Structure 1
Amino acid sequence: MLSSKLDEVIDRGQFTNGPTVKELERELELFTGAKYAIGVGNATEALIIMLRAAGIGPGDEVIVPCFTFFASASSVAHVGAVPVFCDIDPVTYSLKVDEIESKITERTKAIMPVHLFSQMADMVSICKIAKKYNLLVLEDSAEAISMFNNGVHAGLVGQAGVLSFFPTKTLGAMGDAGMIITNDDNIAEHARLLRIHGQEENDLGIHKVVGYNSRMDDIQASVLLGRLKYLQEDIAKRAYLTSLYNKLLADLSQVQIPIIKERRDVANPVYYVYLIEVEQRDDLVTYLSSVGIGTETYYPTPLHIQPCFSYLGYEYGSMPNAELACTRTLGLPLYPDLTEKEVHKVSEEIHRFYGNGVNK
């Protein structure tokens, strides 16, 4: 399947924003239930374009969590707006709902929840706050393909969202690729202009706005079309491996396995990352690396104290949940081809670290 799609792209000779990209957009409209799926170069550009298409610009404020990938906040700065940082819920790692209203000012234009690791943010509460203050909800749903809230796919609960197809994602390409999903006619129309230098696809000589060069490659689209057919199988494998990790690590007091917050509005979790919280995180990372086990640290420095955001005036200590998570969270290997034997090996080495004095 993948080989034949690649052959089609090569034979056609149209490598960016071509028929294969259009096919992927249609397939993901069907998969997510979106009225519009708009392929772009990567998820960071998808965030920037989504924000601009929704009318976010200089002078506006957007509420974002301080514990997330850098692009969640940098995209706000890129459109000239101000990221207003909010602490996180210690279970979902998304926006701390009872703190949001204290962040709202007369300049607030939108709330950007980020759906991290395995579950969606509390979208019912967030949308209720947004409605009360007449704010947009623009979702960083980059990691959240196949996550649902009351039957609505992540990214479509608010006005728009994004998907990332970075190779490590649940649905990953062989390079960079991203997508904007929305049911809003105006956001979709503007996003389509912005992704190709402000031009309409049928009138490439006229630039209606100053846009970007953010075209998805047809080669990446062909890879994604092939992998989309196995997405639910891959999600099921990730869930099984997660349950195995949970069982093997449950006896360690130094390890907190993932906690799924029980909410009736959220469907089953999708494990993009197997995230644990551990004592002596950095020492454990070093040890696991020494025995050939790769890990990912999420996120070593929270966004509110990143040097590039120093002009915003936040201080360490102002976001305690996020700051604690930055010292404790660790992603263990998790991907569909991971074997049970390999999961056992990871568990054995973690037990050895905590039980046999490796950390002394």
Structure 2
Amino acid sequence: MPFFDQAETFRKAWPAISGHVEDVFDRGKFSHGRKVSELEKAVAGYTGARHAIAVNSGTDALVLLLRAAGIAPGDEVVVPAFSFAASATSVALARARPVFADIEPESYALDAASAASVISERTRAVMPVHLFTQMADMDALRVLAADHGLLVVEDSAEAIGMRWNGVHAGLLGAGGVLSFFPTKTLGALGDAGMILTDDDEIARLAGILRHHGRMGKTIDHIAGISNLSGVSGTNSKMDDIQAAVLLAKLAGLDAQIERRARLAAAYTERLRDVPGVTRLPTIVERTSDTNPVFYVYVVEADRRDDLVRHLTDRGIGTEVYYPIPLHLQPCFSALGHSPGDFPHAERACERTVGLPFYPDLPESAVDMVCDAVREFYTGRTG
């Protein structure tokens, strides 16, 4: 049983997908063309964003958003120590400095109090990451940012469909991003990403940066744009085949989100009394209205690595989130962190594991996974 599989999803969606793909071939524009524009309009409509700017990956979306928001060499950006590497490497690629803070143990999101403790005179932005299932505490983080005159740049790569008081993830600050990596809630056939923002100038600059400094057919002289400090653009255009796939799948996104919620409930019901499974996905109650969207189903478990081997031996795929916290990654060793600096992030890295989770997963497969987990801890399956 794989950790992720979307073969059946594509079989069901293929008539719609093939129609969009044939349209791409008929027009003969395979990159940064009409289908990309259609997707941008559709995603803007779904999220309520004033601007949706398509790029070639979620990582590039973060890098270009940071640059378009004015993050410059020497600036510091506060990021959580528990996240995918791109949350921090995007800051470095924007030629700024990531500054790590700890997470809330229940939501795995950036902890506002920890973030406040690492703010310096060089801090320019705070980057919450909406991880796995729910959004970070945007009320607390926005107050923190306002008190210190900071930008809020959201790593909302996993958060399509999540909203805060009705506002879609990525639109509660300067901007946010979406990743359309194949495993994501809305996944392409390869890499693709999107910048979301309500800021006209950020959208304009991001559009320039993704296309070698071009706006349409015209070369825009990047050195003349003061907000970018003379930094040139790059090639981060989305290709129209990925846009065609995403347009077709977007129509069924809400149904896919509902199916994910049902599968998560099935897992929770079957695992709630298994000894050794010490934390199931916890939806933190916030003062503001927010909705969970299950991108993955992550639990904390005793003897996590042994459990993974046990499941692998039974043909069950898993994903460890994340083996090494960001502050202890070799690429950030120059920042001088040591084990123990961010205990909640480090504990999560030692104990979290994602179980097989995708809309086509039958509930009988959930039973199989949960029986195998129970067998590991108790020696029995029922």
Classify the TM-score, shorter chain. over 0.9
1:89 aligns with 2:99: no
Q: Say which SS state the counterpart of residue 83 (structure 2) adopts.
A: coil
| Equivalent of 1:306 in 313, 323, 329 | 329
- 1:42 match: 57
CA distance in 2: counterparts of 1:70 and 1:168, whole angstroms: 16
Report the residue type matching 1:229 in the other structure: A
Q: In structure 2, what residue type is equivalent to 1:287?
A: H
Which position in structure 1 is the counterpart of 2:374?
351
1:2 maps to which residue? Answer: 17
Q: Structure 1: which 5+ residue stretches go unaligned?
A: none
Q: Residue 89 of structure 2 aligns to which amino acid in structure 1?
A: S
1:204: how far off? 4.4
Which residue in the other structure is 2:3 paired with? none
The answer to whether the aligner puts 1:283 opposite 2:298 as a matched pair is no
Which of the numbers 266, 283, 295 marks the counterpart of 1:244? Answer: 266
Residue 214 of structure 1 aligns to which amino acid in structure 2?
A: S
What's the TM-score, normalizing by structure 1? 0.97
Does the Cα contact within 8 Å between 1:193 and 1:200 map onto a contact in 2? yes
Alignment of 1:69-148 (within 5 A): 69-148=84-163
1:226 to 232, 248, 269: 248
- Determine which of 182, 189, 194 is the counterpart of 1:179: 194
Cα displacement (A) at 1:198: 1.0
Matched, 1:253 2:268: no
The CA distance in 2 between the partners of 1:193 and 1:142, in whole Å, is: 21
Residue 205 of structure 1 and its aligned partner are, at CA, apart by 7.9
Give the Cα separation in 2 of the matches to 1:179 and 1:71: 15
Q: What amino acid sits opposite 1:271 in the alignment? A: F
Give 1:267 shift. Answer: 2.4
Q: 2:350 aligned with 1:334, yes or no?
A: no
Partner secondary structure for residue 195 of structure 2: strand
Which one-letter code corresponds to 1:98 in the other structure? A
Displacement after TM superposition at 1:357 (Å): 8.4
The answer to whether the 8 A contact 1:200-1:206 is kept is: no
- 1:264 Cα shift? 3.9
Query: For 2:206 and 2:285, how far apart are their aligned partners in 1?
Result: 35
| Partner AA of 2:177 in structure 1 | V
- 2:169 paired with 1:154: yes
Q: What do you get for the CA RMSD once the two structures are aligned?
A: 1.3
In 2: Cα distance, 1:345 partner to 1:253 partner: 17
Which of 257, 275, 289 does residue 235 from structure 1 map onto? 257
The one-letter code of the counterpart of 2:245 is: V
SS at 1:297 equivalent? coil
Structure 1 residue aligned with 2:226: none
Q: CA deviation at 1:98?
A: 1.3
Moved over 2 A (4+): 204-209
In structure 2, the residue matched to 1:200 is 215
Q: Could you tell me how far apart the structure 2 residues matched to 1:137 and 1:207 are?
A: 24
Q: Is the 8 A contact 2:374 2:380 kept in 1?
A: no
Structure 2: gaps of 5 or more residues: 1-15, 224-230
Letter in 1 for 2:237: R
> Are 1:217 and 2:239 counterparts?
yes
Distance 1:98 1:26 in 2: 37
Task: Give yes or no for contact 1:199–1:207 (8 Å, CA) kept in 2.
Answer: no
1:277-308 deviation per Cα after TM superposition (whole angstroms, max 9, x unaligned): 00000011111011110000000000001111
Q: Give 1:246 shift.
A: 0.4
Question: Is this contact kept in 1: 2:268–2:280, CA < 8 A?
Answer: yes
Contact 1:257 1:275 in 2 (8 A): yes
> 1:138 Cα deviation (Å)?
0.2
- 2:275 maps to amino acid: S
Question: Which secondary structure does the structure 2 equivalent of 1:314 belong to?
Answer: coil
Distance in 1 separating the partners of 2:375 and 2:220: 64
Cα shift readout 1:99-135 (whole Å, capped 9, x = no counterpart) = 1211111100000000000000000000001001110
CA contact (8 A) 1:87 1:320 kept: yes
The CA distance in 2 between the partners of 1:101 and 1:74, in whole Å, is: 21
Alpha-carbon distance in structure 2 between the residues aligned to 1:170 and 1:101: 31
Deviation at 1:266, TM superposition (A): 3.4
Cα shift at 1:36: 0.4
Shift of 1:202: 3.5
Greater Cα shift, 241-250 or 98-107:
98-107
Aligned-partner Cα distance in 1 for 2:28–2:208: 23
Contact 1:160 1:181 in 2 (8 A): yes
SS at match of 1:169: coil
